[in-house]
Amino acid sequence: MATKHSPLPIAQGTDLRNRLIGEAIAILEHEGLEALTLRGVARAAGVSHMAPYRHFTDKEALLAAVAETGFRELSADMGGAASKTATAKERMRAIGMAYLRFARRRPGLYRLMFGPVQPDETRFPKLAEASRATFAHCAEAVAERTASTEQANAGAQEALPLAAWALVHGLSSLLIDGHFGTQRSPEDEDRRIGEVMALFGRIFQPHSAS
Amino acid sequence: MATKHSPLPIAQGTDLRNRLIGEAIAILEHEGLEALTLRGVARAAGVSHMAPYRHFTDKEALLAAVAETGFRELSADMGGAASKTATAKERMRAIGMAYLRFARRRPGLYRLMFGPVQPDETRFPKLAEASRATFAHCAEAVAERTASTEQANAGAQEALPLAAWALVHGLSSLLIDGHFGTQRSPEDEDRRIGEVMALFGRIFQPHSAS
DNA sequence: ATTCCGTGTGTACAATGTAAACAAACTTAG
DNA sequence: CTAAGTTTGTTTACATTGTACACACGGAAT
């Protein structure tokens, strides 16, 4: 029987738990965030509509777990993109582009991650941690970059990661929410993204009185 | 029903349509987006739960109308802030700060505006128009600013408004979604916002090989 | 074996979005 | 002014959702 008494209480959920998360992500991709329903997820997993409650206290907890998975995947994407680069500058751009690509590839999941579920530290510590880790990933790359071009302003040093994240996140959000270029051609959209990302590099230049 | 202080200076006639929009905004502010329900709005307005259907084809149409109102108010805020400035540079900053202030003052409404209702040109032309007008407001200020500091890159000329909007929008979103500084003090948060906004000005400087 | 507990099922209920039939008030033609 | 139609709101009804509760089944510890 291989009695594997788990020595660590790592929340290694049952198979169903992960299956539910997977089905939820599938629904998010195919039908969107509005169509994500607890009963629908249970149906997709082939269990009764009450089964999820054995693994999540309520719908919000499921959403939090899904969002957490999303943050982990986003972190992995950024890490993979960063590992393929040589310079700190390239790394920054690669991470930003990975972020953007993630948002465009999984708009439903992305909207959930930054949408209805607040990463409340006390209620969803794992989600809060995953969100923090994602940001830390960005911040590290930014710090590395600012270290290469010596930076005068110490306050900016702290604010730069925030600004970088805000820019990429804002661009992603506007993009997938159709707030510009809805009817434009895809290559046109890509071109604009490239231009904005180029501008994005300017915030790392020390200021000159203009 | 005692009329709670109307938070928005909307045309308040006997017109149920506008009353519904007003109540929806009030609910958005007090209870948040998740609590915004068609029946709840009708209840708040003191009518039967089917009355709204005489003015909106479905819930999404109500949300679109509310979002449209939000965009108009945001545009007005930005316009008011801009009118108090002298230089193009100040105007830009004032508009950005007005945007941020709006998001923090009405997080529920803001989330609706950039959330579930896509500004679909064919389904909600008025909403699409209001969203476009808001962006045009930003773009105009940016163009004015770039005109003052002569700009070399023509591509950047087109992308600059996008970048500016993305940065301010991203900062607003991260802020109200609690993705950083959740537990920090308010003045600390304000300081960080100021720093990021300062960085924000750098994207207008022509690039130098760094 | 018996007991217990983790996991899943069925039933039940309140809230929601929406359809359909109806009613009262206002508008307009005669 | 009356009669018809239109606008606006109401009541009733129903499917879907999130969730509480009681139960069933299978393995683990006693």
Instruction: Please write the tens of the pLDDT for every residue from A127-147.
Output: 999 999 999 988 888 888 887
Higher pLDDT, B153 or A124: A124
CA distance A113 to A36: 13
Report CB contact under 8 Å: A178, B34: no
Among A73, A113, A99, which Cα is nearest to A172's? Answer: A99
- pLDDT given at position A109: 98
Interface of A with B in 48-87 (CB under 8 A): none
- Positions 40-69 of A with beta carbon below 7 A from strand C are 47-51, 53-55
Contacts of residue A195, defined as CB under 8 A and 6 or more positions apart, other chains included, come to B155, B156, B158, B159, B162
∠ Cα B118 B124 B129 (to 5°)? 90
Minimal CA separation from A153 to chain B, in Å: 10
Question: Is-contact B174 B180, C-beta < 8 A?
Answer: yes
A contact test, residue of B134, B167, B175, B183 with most A CBs within 10 A: B167
For helices A38-45 and A15-30, angle between their N-to-C axes, nearest 10 degrees: 110
Q: Is B206 helix (H, G, I), strand (E, B) or coil?
A: coil
Q: Which two tokens stand for residue B91?
A: 């105007």
Q: Which nucleotides of D are covered by protein (CB under 7 A)?
A: 8-13, 16-22, 28-29
Ranges of residues in chain B with a pLDDT under 70 are 1-13, 149-155, 181-184, 207-210
Q: Which pLDDT score is estimated for B155?
A: 64
Which H or E run includes A157?
helix A154-176
Which residue gives the smallest C-alpha to C1' distance to C9? A48
Round and report the angstrom distance from CA (B16) to C1' (C30).
33
Helix (H, G, I), strand (E, B) or coil at A50: coil
- Partner residue facing B202 (CB), from A171, A196, A202: A202
Helices marked H in chain B: 16-30, 38-45, 59-83, 88-105, 107-113, 125-148, 154-176, 186-200
Chain B within 8 Å of A44 (Cβ-Cβ)? no
The confidence score (pLDDT) of residue B144 equals: 84
Distance in Å from D28's C1' to A14's CA comes to: 17
Pull the structure tokens for residue B8. 């928005």
Positions on chain C within 7 A of a protein C-beta? 6-12, 15-21
- In the prediction, which pLDDT does A58 show? 97
Let me know: does A196 contact B163? Beta carbons within 8 Å. Answer: yes
Whether B16 sits with its Cβ under 7 A from any strand D atom: the answer reads: yes
Mean pLDDT of A5-29: 75
Q: Using a CB–CB cutoff of 8 Å, tell me whether A15 touches chain B.
A: no
Ramachandran class of A109: left when φ > 0, alpha when ψ lies in -120 to 50, beta otherwise: alpha
Closest CA to B198 of B82, B96, B104: B96
